[in-house]
Amino acid sequence: MAQVAKIPVIDLSGDDQTQVAKDLVEAAIEHGFVYIKNTGKDIPVEAIDGAFEMSKRLFDAPLSDKQACTIQQNNRGWSAMNYETLDPANQRVGDFKEAFNFGEFIDNKAQQPIPPTIAADEPRVSAFRDLCYNLSLKLNTLLGIGLEVTPASFFTTAHARARGPSGTILRFLCYPPRASLTSGEQQPTTETDVRAGAHSDYGSLTLLFRLRGQPGLEILLRDGKTWAPVPVTPPGTEHDPAPPILMNIGDLLAYWTGGLLRSTVHRVVFPSPSPGSSSSSSSGAGGLLEGEEADHGPRYSIAYFCHPFGGAELGPVPSERVRGYKGGVAEGNPYAERRVMTADEHLRMRLKASYAQLYKEKEME
């Protein structure tokens, strides 16, 4: 088995918040990824369990109900199997996943069509999105402190809802097992046929929730060629009530810091078939042991892509640390090198690349 990524685990509830901020920044510089120990203080475990339960119900909805919510150029809605291609330069077929993107809610109401199977849960989805938002603000504040940006509230202010609409998305993801793909569908046959193609995230930072027993996420190491698995339950968190929340730096924080904070390329792969794995008798996702990669059921994850207000400019922030950094952008990330003006312009550029069909269809109308 490949060497796993050595990503630090940080407890945000530490007494010395300056030290927490420094640890967070060091992890963001070194890895671009950090585990947030899940003590249930920022996001209660029941809220996470509830979100996964709603996600399963959503993906179990009849196909026609999901199709009625098909993703639009506003980046909201349902993305069908193989519809999004996160690494168009290298993938033969689109990602082997379904996804559902929630944009903003107003007064607990989604501003987009929602399948009837979860219609009654709109306030709960909205509340979960708010919990994620609050945690993302806390992380942005800590990053400002740790980088000694002047003012330290720079990133937090750029994410204030009062500044205007943002590209922020709460995304439910469902990766079906290889075995469930019917013969009429695309079949994963080569190494580039993956659940999510190699990419960096488009926003400022991402929060990722995963389930024990459902690995598959890998990060690209600094050598630009080695993929390291990111365990769901890193050492020291085995007895926590839920796996740590994974935080990663997206392209916008990389732009804002001239590449000092790493927007690390990552992907999601199918579990490698191993003898006996398909006959696992485990009763549910939560009961599997880490490393037990049975391909017997779908893999679920939930991502919160935090974006600043659309007009936010992405030039380097006032910070001695950023000014002094001459390293350039993360290896293997082609997007981080482009000069972009605002968060909105950047998001549109990225969406156009990964949803070729959606943008082609609309241009022809």
Ligand X SMILES: O=C(O)CCC(=O)C(=O)O
Work out how close the CB of 36 gets to Fe ion at its nearest, in angstroms, rounded to a whole number. Answer: 16
Q: Are 52 and 300 in contact (CB under 8 A)?
A: yes
Q: Which is nearer to ligand X, 47 or 173 (CB)?
A: 173
- Smallest Cα–Cα separation from 29: which of 210, 258, 231, 197? 258
Q: Which is nearer to Fe ion, 149 or 207 (CB)?
A: 207
CB-based closest residue to Fe ion: 201
- Contact of residue 217 among Fe ion, ligand X, none (CB under 5-8 Å per partner type): ligand X
Cα 165 from Cα 36, distance rounded (Å): 27
Residues near Fe ion, by CB under 5 A: 201
Work out how close the CB of 299 gets to ligand X at its nearest, in angstroms, rounded to a whole number. Answer: 7
Q: Which is nearer to Fe ion, 319 or 350 (CB)?
A: 350
**Tokens of residue 343, six digits:** 């968060």
Q: Which is nearer to ligand X, 144 or 229 (CB)?
A: 229
Cα 145 from Cα 155, distance rounded (Å): 10
Work out how close the CB of 88 gets to ligand X at its nearest, in angstroms, rounded to a whole number. Answer: 15
- Contact of residue 333 among Fe ion, ligand X, none (CB under 5-8 Å per partner type): none
- Contact of residue 54 among ligand X, Fe ion, none (CB under 5-8 Å per partner type): none
Cβ partners under 8 Å of residue 105, min gap 6:
111, 122, 125, 126, 129
Q: Which is nearer to ligand X, 25 or 302 (CB)?
A: 302
Residues near ligand X, by CB under 6 A: 173, 196, 201, 208, 210, 217, 266, 268, 301, 303
- Contact of residue 351 among Fe ion, ligand X, none (CB under 5-8 Å per partner type): none
Work out how close the CB of 232 gets to ligand X at its nearest, in angstroms, rounded to a whole number. Answer: 9
Q: Are 16 and 43 in contact (CB under 8 A)?
A: no
Cα 186 from Cα 96, distance rounded (Å): 9
- Contact of residue 269 among ligand X, Fe ion, none (CB under 5-8 Å per partner type): none
- Smallest Cα–Cα separation from 236: which of 15, 24, 36? 36
Cα 114 from Cα 68, distance rounded (Å): 9
